[in-house]
Chain A
Amino acid sequence: MPTSDYDPACLPDLLPLYYRRLFPFSQYYRWLSYGGVSKNYFQNREFSFTLKDDIYVRYQSFTTQNELEKEMQKMVPYKIDIGAVYSHRPSQHNAVKSGTFQALEKELVFDIDMTDYDDVRRCCSAADICSKCWTLMTIAIRILDRALREDFGFHHLLWVYSGRRGVHCWVCDDAARKLSVAARSAVAEYLSLIKGGEETVRKVVLSDPIHPFINHSLSVVERYFCQYAIVEQDILGSKESVDKVLALLPEDILSFPVVLGAQLTVISLSLTYFDKEIMLQYCYPRLDVNVSKGVNHLLKSPFSIHPKTGRISVPIDLKELNTFDPFEVPTISLICEELERPRADEAEDDDVKDKENEQEAGERRRIRDYKRTSLAKYVKVFDRFLEAMARSRKGEMLQKSDLQKDF
């Protein structure tokens, strides 16, 4: 599918169209209201916008979905970030007594950025990605999704393509949103296996006993390793990259001839896991703990645009993870173009228009609009995610009312 050449210079024209007719406001509002269980949850949420010419504004907040729409259509943000739910309306934070304005809740989030893997990928570097290294994201998603669900007991995870070189995870469970800074950082550290920066050569060190979490993660990595590392990344393909691999081996066995992938006799306890360590160093997810730690940390919003690539930050359907292609994600130019294509069913709409009020009409139009574009399937993924949360909330309320003998 052609992505329709995207030109950042067109943003000023495309964005207004996007916010007027395509951005899924009603689902977005539904998400952030979380069923209206907590009072003022949406109203006290911070948004931040990056406007044209890199003007950055924080502490934006809105009282209704309508206000959100109007403001976004007026300000036409190039980037949108979502922050925490505060104790008061963020837009009024200056009027609040100093010290009382506090971030209370926020989703637990993770940010996986391909640049963090530059030391282990040969195909690209920095902001570039390709189909060969994208596998790293697939591995990261599988490992983290399993751990967050099975180990930590979370249920409502929204995985989103960042629009350029990574993925984000929004853990939206009630319990997740209420986590303290210490808890968030503990979760992030539990999930971290790669330690060390530029000066560290051997970034993964395993010792007995191997925690079940590591074993689970290894089994994921092993599924992809051969195809990814040996074939696609070709890590044994040049002397330089072979040397890099050998550099990860503990010093005492370098004197032995090494054949990777074959059985090696265990010489001493410290050597037992070198093969696992190498696989993990090449493939295990690298997360930025600082992103996950802060309750007030701002993260790129789903369905926002990435100004450099024009791509929309779309939710990822984990059922189709193996076939997800970041280069197939629609750009704003594509969907705006799709919008302009003539429609077969235009006639009947005119009749219905007169009977509805402005907003409903607007919404209906918008729903029909995005359905005509490549955005449709991604909004569906989002819808299913919202449905699951709604069902679970209903289930909880029934449980509660049963306990209270409320019939």
Chain B
Amino acid sequence: MQFPGRRKKLIGSSQNDLYDHCLQFYGQPPLENISLTEFETFAVERLKLLKTVENLGVSCVKNSEQYTKKLDAEISSLNFPQKAELSEQKVQGGISEYEKRRKDHISHFILRLAYCQTEDLRRWFIQQEMDLFRYRFNDLHSKHKTDFLHKNNLKYETVSAEEKKSLQDKLIASSYGLSGTKVEEHDVYKVPFQDALDLVRTRKVYLLAGNAYIPHHEIVTIVLNDFRTRLSKALAMTARSLPAVQSDERLQPLLSHLSHAYVGQDYSIQKNIGKISLEQIDALSGKSFPLCMRHLHKALRENHHLRHGGRMQYGLFLKGIGLSLEQALQFWRSEFVKGKVDADKFDKAYAYSVRHMFGKEGKRTDYTPYSCMKVILSNPPSQGDYHGCPFRHSDPELLKQKLQNYKVSPSGTNQILELVKGMHYQLACQKYFELTHNVEDAGFSLNHPNQYFTESQKLLSGGRDIKKEVDMSQRSQENPASVTRPSQANSKQAHEEMGDLDSFFQDE
């Protein structure tokens, strides 16, 4: 991969030198050629990892057992490097540690291209990369931590033994988990307080004459600061060289969609066609529909009409849960006719649109139901619209009222509103799922309204019928990158995902 203006000569190009530590600061961009498929796969997988980092960061306490277990599992299943030594034997059929580190390196740089473009994207990317880095750094053995500092020329000034002794009591009183022996045995670092703001802000460090005295086990905070600064600068630089990259036709579509990427099941292949009857929809809307669809359904019932944006979002969702074309036509017609539209007009104007959704008109593209990402980011609703994501697009006061009307407890509502405030809309919806289904943990990471429906049905029916379908589709989704040579299924999967990305922005 060559980036204009950033070529650097590699000195000593043996495999081992290049990736001699499982963690890196991503200082040097990769200098090899890779296939487009690898390019796509790497990017998508790192994105999956970062999204998991984001989800776990909000739903669990960072560094709690739950957090570590889940994140470990994800890192492992996506084949990113963990703490293994480079020379460790390959697990049969698996990927070598070297290859994992290479993937880590390359995927990071690809995502930089996608996420450098706006302030919001940069902020998100930096936050997740920092959390990931923090997790991986903390996971290192002490020796490897020191190794890392040395290899990256991070020279933090250490405090002399005499000074340590004289400040011992003060140090113990300022840092959590510090004891006399620890102070004696391990290094204490001295950095200007401006480089340790997180510790200063929470008063978790000893300050003297403008310097913060950081015990060894807290050094991660300083390293993280460094990491953030470097990444921030790098992203700004990347944004400047982006036009050159974007002019590459092969990369441009991928990059411009990666930042909006949905990386899961797309519900395009209809399962359970005809299993739902129209009479069930009202009841289902209260039990198993996510808030956005419940909202749309209610609006449709009350106004006997929905505008284009609402018809698309809701109509495709209904297709996804299994409505056949005939059912859909009947559903929409019966509702619209109650309003200002007579049967004839419906057949002339709106029926076409329904058939279009099912791929029976025009381009014959079988449109896929919208993912949460698409609902949240595209086509914000205006006056008279009922589509969009209520957690993103509703005024918090109205959202609160609505939740109260739907019998969500005040404490639950508050939790949801907190998540909304933190802009974690999908997590807010997940919380809504948990509260309305009376479960502690949804057990899935919400990314798609149809996923909400499927999971809800699974839960309510005790996990029988639908489970089989869900399992199969999930299994095919979990194995995308455990092979070095892209298999048929793998590349098709990746390609499908990319193809669908295009369709996200192609409303009729």
A interface residues, Cβ below 8 angstroms from B = 150-154, 175, 179-180, 182-183, 185-187, 189-190, 209-213, 215
Q: Is B173 a contact partner of A210 (Cβ separation < 8 A)?
A: yes
Q: Verify A209–B194 contact, CB threshold 8 A.
A: no
Does chain A have a CB within 8 A of B151?
no
> Would you call B197 and A182 a contact (CB within 8 A)?
yes
- Tell me whether B174 and A211 are in contact (CB under 8 A): yes
B364 within 8 Å of A (CB atoms): no
In the assembly, what is the distance between CA of A104 and CA of B201, in Å? 22
The answer to whether A153 and B200 have CB atoms under 8 Å apart is no
Contact check, B203 vs A190: say whether CB atoms are below 8 A apart.
yes
Closest CB in chain A relative to B176 CB, distance in Å: 8
Q: Are B203 and A150 in contact (CB under 8 A)?
A: no
Q: Is B209 an interface position by the 8 A CB rule?
A: yes
A209-B173, A213-B203 are contacts. A186–B197 as well, Cβ < 8 Å? yes
Chain B 450-471: CB-based contact to A (< 8 A → 1; otherwise 0): 0000000000000000000000
In the complex, how many angstroms separate the beta carbon of A127 from the nearest chain B beta carbon? 32
- The CA-CA distance from A209 to B208 in the complex, in Å, is 18
Which among B200, B208, B210 has the greatest number of chain A C-beta atoms within 10 A?
Answer: B210
Show 11 residue pairs from A and B whose CB-CB distance is below 8 angstroms, ordered by the A residue: A151-B208, A151-B210, A153-B210, A175-B210, A183-B193, A190-B201, A190-B203, A209-B172, A209-B176, A212-B174, A213-B203
Q: Indicate whether A154 sits within 8 Å of B203 (C-beta atoms), given known contacts A186-B197, A211-B173, A211-B174.
A: no
**Interface on chain A toward B: helix, strand, loop, or mixed SS?**
helix
Greatest chain A CB density within 10 A among B170, B197, B209 is at B197
What's the minimum C-beta distance from B127 to chain A, rounded to whole angstroms? Answer: 15
B150 CB to closest chain A CB (Å) equals 28
Q: What residues of B have a CB within 8 angstroms of the CB of A211 in the complex?
A: 173-174, 203, 206
Q: How far is the CB of B157 from chain A (nearest CB, A)?
A: 15
Question: Given that A183-B194, A187-B200, A190-B200 are known contacts, is A150 also in contact with B174, CB under 8 Å in the complex?
Answer: no
CB distance from A174 to the nearest CB of B (A): 12
Q: Can you list, as one digit per residue, whether each of B135-154 has a CB less than 8 Å from chain A (1) or not (0)?
A: 00000000000000000000
CB distance from A176 to the nearest CB of B (A): 10
Question: CB within 8 A of B207: which of A152, A185, A210?
Answer: A152
User: A183's contact among B173, B174, B197, by CB below 8 Å, is which?
Assistant: B197
Q: Select from chain A the residue with minimum beta-carbon distance to B207.
A: A151
Q: How far is the CB of A106 from chain B (nearest CB, A)?
A: 16
Closest A residue by C-beta to B173? A209
Cross-interface CB contact of A212 among B170, B201, B202, B209, cutoff 8 Å? B170
User: Is B241 close to A, CB under 8 A?
Assistant: no
Q: Contact between A152 and B193 (Cβ–Cβ < 8 Å)? A: yes
Q: Give B201 Cβ to nearest chain A Cβ, in Å.
A: 4
B362 to nearest A CB, angstroms?
Answer: 44
Which of A152, A153, A189, A210 is B201 in contact with, Cβ under 8 Å?
Answer: A189
Q: Is B327 an interface residue (CB 8 A)?
A: no
Chain B interfacial residues counted at CB < 8 A: 19
Whether the pair B197, A153 counts as a contact (CB closer than 8 A) is no
Whether A154 and B197, one on each chain, are in contact in the complex, defined by CB atoms closer than 8 angstroms, is: no
Residues B177-205 near A (CB distance < 8 A): 193-194, 197-198, 200-203
Chain B CB count within 10 A is highest, among A187, A189, A212, for A212
Contact in complex: B211, A153 (CB < 8 Å): yes
- CA distance in complex: A153, B301 (Å): 67
Return B205 CB to nearest CB of chain A, in Å. 9
Partner of A150, one of B197, B198, B201, B208: B208
Q: List residues of chain B with CB within 8 A of the CB of A215.
A: 173
CB <8 Å contact, B210 and A154:
yes
Measured between beta carbons, the chain B residues less than 8 angstroms from A179 are: 194
Please name the residue on chain B nearest to A173 by beta carbon.
B210
What residue in chain A is nearest B176 (Cβ atoms)? A209
A131 to chain B, nearest CB (A): 33
Q: Mark B338-363, 1 if CB is under 8 A from A, else 0.
A: 00000000000000000000000000
Measured CB to CB, the closest approach of chain A to B179, in angstroms, equals 11
Q: How far is the CA of A54 from the CA of B174 in the complex (A)?
A: 48
**A180, A186, A209: which contacts B200 (Cβ < 8 A)?**
A186
Q: Is the CB of A213 within 8 A of B207?
A: yes
Distance from B490 Cβ to chain A, minimum over Cβ atoms (Å): 44
User: With a CB–CB cut-off of 8 A, which chain B residues contact A212?
Assistant: 170, 173-174, 206
Task: List the B residue with the shortest CB-CB distance to A149.
Answer: B209
Given contacts A186-B200, A212-B174, contact A150 B209 (CB under 8 A): yes
Q: How far is the CA of A152 from the CA of B196 in the complex (A)?
A: 12
Name the distance in Å between B318's Cβ and chain A's nearest Cβ. Answer: 46
Residues of A within 8 A of B203 (CB): 189-190, 211, 213
Inside 8 A of A153's CB, which chain B residues have their CB?
A: 193, 208-211
- Taken together as a complex, chains A and B put the C-alpha atoms of A211 and B194 apart, in Å, by 19
CB distance from B293 to the nearest CB of A (A): 38
Chain B residue nearest to A192 (CB atoms) is B203
- Complex alpha-carbon distance, A179 and B197, angstroms: 11
Residues of B within 8 A of A183 (CB): 193-194, 197
What is the chain B residue whose CB lies nearest that of A152? B210
Closest chain A residue to B198, Cβ basis: A186
Q: How far is the CA of A117 from the CA of B198 in the complex (A)?
A: 28
The 8 closest A-B pairs by CB, nearest first: A153-B210, A186-B201, A151-B207, A153-B209, A186-B197, A209-B173, A186-B200, A189-B201
A209 to B173 alpha-carbon distance, docked (Å): 5
Give the complex CA separation of A190 and B201 in angstroms: 5
CB distance from B163 to the nearest CB of A (A): 15
Q: Which residues of B contact A151 (CB under 8 A)?
A: 207-210
CB-based nearest B residue for A178:
B194
Q: How far is the CA of A180 from the CA of B195 in the complex (A)?
A: 11
A72 CA / B406 CA spacing, docked (Å) = 63
Q: Once bound together, how far apart are the Cα atoms of A297 and B464, in whole Å?
A: 62
| Contact yes or no, B173 A185, CB < 8 A | no
User: In the complex, what distance in Å separates the CA atom of A350 from the CA atom of B331?
Assistant: 103
Most chain A CB atoms below 10 A, which of B202, B203, B206: B203
Complex: chain A residue closest to B199, CB-CB: A186
